[in-house]
Chain A
């Protein structure tokens, strides 16, 4: 992914997933909410957490840990919902905790390291070097684009009966 050099100051909504620090452009963010009960959607992969009722509006929630291939959150902990508005609708990104909303200088920005795998590069637009840690900037619209994942999961589901033994969970993602 070609990183477009961000303007001098970028407003970033920073959040954590485990010990990692991530950020998305604050312009996408509509609001931040405590996690509420979610209606699961059958036939969808685990990255789709379900549907949230946001004051009467129905919002699709994406589990960011699953989306980025990180281990699941320990049981009992309740995620935070970042409601984002992207071109084709409103979504909720479920994260561990909100870190901060920061104004970061473009001098601290660095393009995506080549060493990342293709799948990681798809979501990462670059990183900011903070004083003591690295903030990974995510491309919100890439994260929101889950049609392909849904499709392959659905096909996997259809094949299940015949492929009982062969089907391995990692093949779905």
Chain B
């Protein structure tokens, strides 16, 4: 059939339109005055209707027509959007989606009966206060005659409506005549609709400018500036809008001027492969002729080199897509779940333009969906409960994405009830995930991480949405399988923040190249912790044995060792007795850390990851392969796979280490920064919590009404007076006149980074960095700013609780509420 090509195109296009529709409807429900969105919806439905008529899809045409009628009246301001209306319209979107999927399956529209839906849409349409008389035109337009209900009953929908639309219809009607419709206009007449639709498409900007002030009142405060930008700068629009205009476009440019075309992903992959070959050829060229005396030739070589690098980057970019492409489904999901759970939820999405490789985007879709479900089902309370807790009745759910340090950070925060560490403790003990002894030494934040253990679910009852106990561990596995990490922070009663970090792309990753048995291997750096070179002649660098497992004491912690030669089957056991030096690569896989003994550490390199033939999937040790600069192939080690292979060894080690009465073996040593606050008190905090240490000249400290701050990397960085927060005397609040009194003095600041925003703690000086000895005695006082006490450098030192400090500093708890700047 010659139409097939067109139908396929129609299906593809409609698929994208439908996803956008879900989003638009939900947004429209929140901002009923948003004429721009309404128009976009109207156009999408209208296109589907028109095309379905062309191909003779009568059911599709009927549903689209009924929806269009309703939309037309909405747009004219004759009726207002209610939850019931939105639901009906969303139902029609679902119906359209069903029919389309049937068409794509077998070319037919399927068995579905949409008369009831059409009738409902028609009834809603007819129930407007300004009663219209349906004309015969409508019946002609609808193929199966469903439109006979158009002139149905006039039961009043408007009275159900608690909130009248913030935009008085008068504003809408004071539009230029091309858009204006007289109130007596018959919305069912298709001919008229077409002319109206076309006149609207040609003159939209006028509407925005008039609509803007009223619509803006409805925006959540955080979105204000972005929205303004969107409306005022349509051509060079924000990605959010670009995404709406052309969801397939991977770049931020609006389709308007340059245009975009659809490209098959397979073709892009081939391009990527070809560029890979070009890069290899380039490398060989550089290796053979890089030092050539012929200046003309080396000039050309350099030219080829430069162009190849740029080409590689550009081709990589074509695979990058804004994360908003998968977030697009979430507003609808959140709305439906919220309605189902009887909760009220505001969804905020920030950084939708953040770009991620397409394959990764696919991989995080399900985990993110799961996390959102969890947040709605378990996190956010019902409106009544929220009011009782003194919170706003609408729950806040925020998605954020941003690039940082070559990774994509995604954060899902809610202001719900948080995760109750106590109930996790109970549950974990009852499920034998931890022993009661473990539980005593664990801090709340550690406890919360237990939700990622397999077989864990704290929901009191299993609901239809989530809580089957197979959630978070699967999410974690999925995220980790693409080289990402996930962590959760929660404060009971305040909310939960889940942070996901994933690499920008899987196609090119930084890797450590090592060799074993004269063969090169690549290890992705995401799993690399550190590298050690032991001088075995030195008494300090000793490899010991627990049973048969070689171990090394790394800062008091027993690190199990395994030789790569042994794992690769070229040696039966790892024997280091004969060696003078041992190269150990410390790797982190899941919860287990181990040292891999390799022959040589060669270099680090950005490698292009290639998949192995599917039959090699049965060998878990390899994650793929890559081509080195000299054209040789190197295997990429799968660290998780290696860990499973040596799993027995690690378990054995744990059992063995329990036999040894040495408390330091049980808890991994934490590196602590010891510092003195201005009152003179010594405190410690884990190095892992610290971004860096800065010296801030007092002259640069600025004072606002509530806080003192410095400008730091283009951001406002609050400088917290730590001793004051701890309730101790000391000078760490600097008044404006200090600037002149101590112009040359500087104050030491510990910079921590929460949620991408920096905060500094003012301290007097830094004492030392040392490992924590033994376990920490945890204080159980939630009001305390000290997490507990530990032996560090032979002294008992208090360990600062960063979260509590931030919380009590008067600033919001950044990690939970987020920073709306």
Contacts and interface: CB of A to CB of B under 8 A. Distances in A.
A binds B: yes
Interface of A: 37, 39-44, 50-53, 55-60, 88-91, 144-147, 150-151, 154, 157, 160-161
A58 B277 contact: no
Interface residues on B, range: 20 to 34
A59 B633 CA distance: 10
A160 B570 CA distance: 11
17 contacts: A39-B632, A41-B622, A44-B616, A51-B625, A56-B277, A57-B610, A60-B612, A60-B615, A88-B613, A88-B614, A88-B615, A144-B615, A145-B615, A150-B615, A150-B618, A157-B569, A161-B573
B8 to A, nearest CB: 24
A11 B319 CA distance: 40
Nearest to A91: B613
A43 B633 contact: no
A56 B615 contact: no
Interface in B594-618: 610, 612-618
A155 to B, nearest CB: 10
A151 B610 CA distance: 22
B318 to A, nearest CB: 18
A88 B615 CA distance: 9
A44 B635 contact: no
Contacts of A53: 280, 627, 631-633
B621 interface: yes
Interface in B710-730: none
Nearest to B274: A56
Contact of B616 (A39, A57, A150): A150
A60 B613 contact: yes
A161 B567 CA distance: 12
Given A53-B627, A56-B273, A56-B277, A42 B614 contact: no
B632 A58 contact: no
Contacts of B632: 37, 39, 53
B-side interface mostly: mixed
Interface string B160-204: 000000000000000000000000000000000000000000000
A58 B568 contact: no
A102 to B, nearest CB: 29
What are the nearest 4 A-B pairs in CB distance? A56-B277, A42-B568, A60-B613, A39-B633
A40 B634 CA distance: 9
B14 to A, nearest CB: 31
Given A42-B621, A57-B273, 12 more contacts: A41-B616, A43-B568, A43-B619, A50-B633, A56-B276, A56-B627, A58-B612, A60-B613, A60-B616, A88-B613, A89-B613, A154-B619
A99 to B, nearest CB: 26
B1 interface: no
Nearest to B631: A53
A145 B614 CA distance: 10
Given A58-B625, A88-B613, A89-B614, A51 B633 contact: yes
Nearest to A156: B569
B781 interface: no
A44 to B, nearest CB: 7
B618 A58 contact: no
A151 B632 CA distance: 26
Interface in B267-307: 273-274, 276-277, 279-280
Contacts of A150: 615-616, 618-619
Nearest to B624: A58
A154 B619 CA distance: 7
Query: Which of B280, B569, B625, B633 has the most chain A CB within a 10 Å cutoff?
Result: B633
B538 interface: no
B610 to A, nearest CB: 5
Contact of A39 (B273, B519, B613, B619): B519
A104 to B, nearest CB: 30
Contacts of A147: 615, 617-618
Query: Which of B613, B631, B635 has the most chain A CB within a 10 Å cutoff?
Result: B613
Contacts of A60: 612-613, 615-616
B13 to A, nearest CB: 31
B572 interface: yes
A68 B617 CA distance: 22
Query: Which of A44, A56, A160 has the most chain B CB within a 10 Å cutoff?
Result: A56
A53 B626 CA distance: 9
Contacts of A39: 519, 625, 632-635
Contacts of A89: 613-614
A39 B732 CA distance: 62
A43 B569 contact: yes
A83 to B, nearest CB: 12
A39 B280 CA distance: 17
A40 B619 contact: no
Contacts of B617: 147
B818 to A, nearest CB: 44
Contacts of B276: 56
Contacts of B280: 53, 56
Contacts of B634: 39
Contacts of B633: 39, 50-53, 58
A40 B569 contact: no
A41 B612 CA distance: 11
